[in-house]
Amino acid sequence: MQEAAAAAVSRNATDLVALDVSSRLALTDAFLLVSGSSERNVSAIADAVDERLGSLGVSVRRREGRGSGHWELLDFGDVVVHVFLQEDREYYALERLWRDCPVIPIEEPATAS
């Protein structure tokens, strides 16, 4: 989770939220929700997460929305990363949908200056 967060922040992702969905879903343990500022940024964030985890030997099982620039989903098994364009994140409101799930603390890495 921390490596995915670091990769996302390296491409200027904002509003990182991690949710423990393990008690509600059998398919995964956690969601990592992040926002991008533009369609191009959403794709860059998703690519960075995929590359970083891949370099650590964690393969993406499924990737949806590639190139859409609005909502890209990367399924790594234990963690599913949702990369949203900010407007789409507000519209779909996954935090509200999963509000009864505990928030997982993540250390948001500092962005490079």
Give the domains, in start order, of the chain with CATH numbers.
2-104 (3.30.460.10)
pLDDT attached to residue 67: 80
- The helix/strand/coil state of 20 is strand
Q: Which two tokens stand for residue 67?
A: 């190139």
| Distance (Å, whole) CA 83 – CA 99 | 18
Tens-level pLDDT at each residue, the chain (113 residues):
999 999 999 999 999 999 999 999 999 999 999 999 999 999 999 999 999 999 999 999 999 999 888 999 999 999 999 999 999 999 999 999 999 999 999 986 665 54
pLDDT attached to residue 113: 45
Three-state SS for 51-67 is HHHHHCCCCCCEEECCC
Region at 2 (left for phi over 0; alpha for psi -120 to 50; beta for the rest): alpha
- Asked whether the whole model's pTM tops 0.75, one would answer yes
Residues paired with residue 62 on neighbouring β-strands, in sequence order: 75
pLDDT attached to residue 109: 66
- In 3D space, the residue among 78, 84, 48 whose CA is nearest the CA of residue 64 turns out to be 84
